[in-house]
């Protein structure tokens, strides 16, 4: 990354691409490849991201869908084109960059040799970034602004905007501008998710202390609230060998008692995630100028009823949970766009409102406790 910044300062890179600077971004991979194997990229005909490669195998199209292109940090979200001048400053060949299409574009006919097996004729690109598809399926009916959490192993927390936010404040706070369907922007931040609990369960299973997920969540109610809190985004939690030990090490370093019971870990993790979500949602409202009147929780994490209720309580606004399979819903909806059955985002969201959801209304009791916990 530092080699890239020597040619393109970090501030310039963010201002031009609007993408959170992360070491695995495509621009850094391409630069590293060119440094290690000079001249090889110049021989490439097309650069295809994995969804684009699958499309090419299905129908032969050599194009990129915009929502995924925006995440590469090779894309200019304001001009809505590849940032070729940035790539040229890094000596990355630009002739390999493919044409960019919108979600819902018909790419072509399925190759003849695949038709019998697939039973399909046309290939229509969805929002090929999975979160892009998930947010397309948000069953929005709230008046005014709304936020979202694509909740699962990781959490993507943000708002949907009509234009990117590439201010110094957004860069300092490490926010990212990813493409959404119909030209929208997903202004979001990557936050830790239920990975913390999943890794605890994996460790307990290795110790023959496996705990059923539903039973574990039910046992949480017997644990005193806010007995222990962590920063879910602490780097130590990304890939520890032993997640419970990593959590206890954090607690000891911050003057808190170690945990023993699985339900104690679960409560600590869930309350800490809620407080982090609350912090991030308030920040995005301030930076983007969005008044958030409700939050849509999408994906597998939307099944966690306690997490959703606590989030509603902590934010003092409604939380709408579901659909669980939001990415698949969003993919299907954009297929309908490609087939000419739906024509704009309003029509897509009208259909999305038929998905199964559960609304969690904020409870006044306990709100003060969340406010106090947020100050710890």
- Are 271 and 373 in contact, with CB atoms under 8 Å apart? yes
Residue range 146-175: average pLDDT?
Answer: 96
**CATH at residue 44:** 3.30.420.40
Last residue of a domain, one of 95, 124, 153: 124
Catalytic residue among 52, 130, 208, 231: 130
Q: Is the pLDDT of residue 142 over 70?
A: no
Residue range 80-92: average pLDDT?
Answer: 97
d(CA 331, CA 103): 9
Asked whether residue 62 falls in the same domain as residue 138, the answer is: no
By residue range, what is the domain housing residue 341?
A: 128-376
| Tally of structural domains, the chain | 2
- Are 362 and 316 in contact, with CB atoms under 8 Å apart? yes
Q: Is the pLDDT of residue 143 over 70?
A: no
Residue 233 banded pLDDT, cuts 50, 70, 90: very high
State pTM to two decimals: 0.93
Whole-number Cα distances in Å, 310 to 86, 272, 282, 318: 44, 11, 16, 11
Residue range 305-327: average pLDDT?
Answer: 97
Q: In this structure, how many other beta carbons lie within 10 angstroms of the beta carbon of residue 319?
A: 26
Percent of the chain at pLDDT > 70 equals 99
Q: How far is CA 329 from the centre of its chain?
A: 16
**What letters, b where the CB count within 10 A reaches 16 and e where it falls short, cover 83-114?**
beebbeebebbeebbbebbbbbbbbbebeeee
Q: Is the pLDDT of residue 200 over 80?
A: yes
What confidence tens digit (pLDDT) does each residue in 70-84 have?
A: 999 999 999 999 999
In 3D, which of 185, 156, 171 has the Cα closest to residue 66? Answer: 185
Asked whether residue 215 falls in the same domain as residue 68, the answer is: no
Asked whether residue 30 falls in the same domain as residue 54, the answer is: yes
d(CA 289, CA 286): 5
Asked whether residue 265 falls in the same domain as residue 341, the answer is: yes
Q: Please tell me what DSSP assigns to residue 306.
A: H
User: What are residue 145's phi and psi, to 5 degrees?
Assistant: -80, 155
Last residue of a domain, one of 80, 104, 124: 124
241 Cβ contact partners less than 8 Å away, ≥ 6 residues apart: none
pLDDT of residue 201: 95
Asked whether residue 189 falls in the same domain as residue 329, the answer is: yes
Asked whether residue 220 falls in the same domain as residue 359, the answer is: yes
Q: List, in sequence order, every residue forming a beta bridge with 189; answer none if it has no partner.
A: 157
d(CA 122, CA 145): 36
Asked whether residue 225 falls in the same domain as residue 187, the answer is: yes
Quick check: is 130 catalytic?
Answer: yes
User: What are residue 297's phi and psi, to 5 degrees?
Assistant: -105, 120
What confidence tens digit (pLDDT) does each residue in 20-79 have?
A: 888 889 999 999 999 999 999 999 999 999 999 999 999 999 999 999 999 999 999 999
């Amino acid at each position: 990354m530092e080699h890239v910044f020597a040619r393109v300062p970090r501030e310039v890179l963010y201002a031009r691409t609007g993408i959170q600077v992360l070491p695995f971004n495509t621009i850094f991979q391409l630069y590293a490849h060119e440094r290690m194997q000079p001249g090889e990229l110049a021989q490439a005909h097309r650069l295809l991201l994995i969804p684009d490669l699958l499309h090419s195998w299905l129908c032969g199209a050599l194009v990129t869908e915009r929502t995924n292109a925006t995440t590469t940090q090779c894309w200019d979200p304001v001009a809505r084109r590849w940032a070729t001048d940035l790539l040229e400053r890094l000596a990355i060949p630009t002739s390999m960059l493919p044409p960019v299409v919108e979600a819902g574009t018909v790419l072509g006919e399925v190759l003849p040799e695949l038709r019998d097996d697939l039973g399909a004729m046309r290939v229509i690109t969805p929002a090929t970034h999975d979160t892009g598809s998930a947010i397309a399926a948000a069953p929005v009916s709230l008046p005014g602004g709304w936020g979202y959490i694509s909740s699962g192993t990781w959490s993507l927390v943000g708002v949907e905007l009509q234009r990117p936010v590439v201010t110094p404040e957004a860069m300092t706070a490490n926010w990212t501008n990813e493409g959404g369907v119909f030209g929208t922007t997903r202004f979001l931040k990557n936050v830790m998710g239920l990975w913390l609990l999943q890794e605890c369960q994996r460790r307990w299973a290795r110790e023959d202390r496996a705990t059923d997920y539903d039973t574990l969540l039910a046992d949480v109610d017997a644990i005193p609230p806010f007995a222990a809190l962590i920063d879910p985004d602490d780097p130590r939690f990304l890939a520890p060998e032993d997640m419970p030990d990593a959590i206890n090490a954090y607690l000891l370093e911050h003057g808190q008692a170690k945990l023993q019971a699985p339900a104690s870990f679960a409560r600590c993790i869930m309350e800490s995630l809620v407080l982090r979500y609350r912090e991030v949602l308030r920040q995005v409202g301030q930076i983007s100028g969005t008044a958030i009147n409700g939050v849509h929780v999408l994906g597998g994490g939307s099944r966690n009823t306690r997490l959703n209720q606590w989030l509603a309580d902590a934010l003092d606004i409604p939380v709408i949970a579901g659909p669980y399979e939001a990415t698949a819903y969003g993919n299907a909806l954009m297929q309908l766009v490609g087939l000419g059955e739906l024509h704009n985002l309003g029509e897509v969201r009208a259909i999305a409102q038929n998905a199964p959801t559960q609304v969690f209304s904020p409870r006044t009791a306990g709100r003060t406790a969340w406010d106090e916990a947020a100050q710890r």
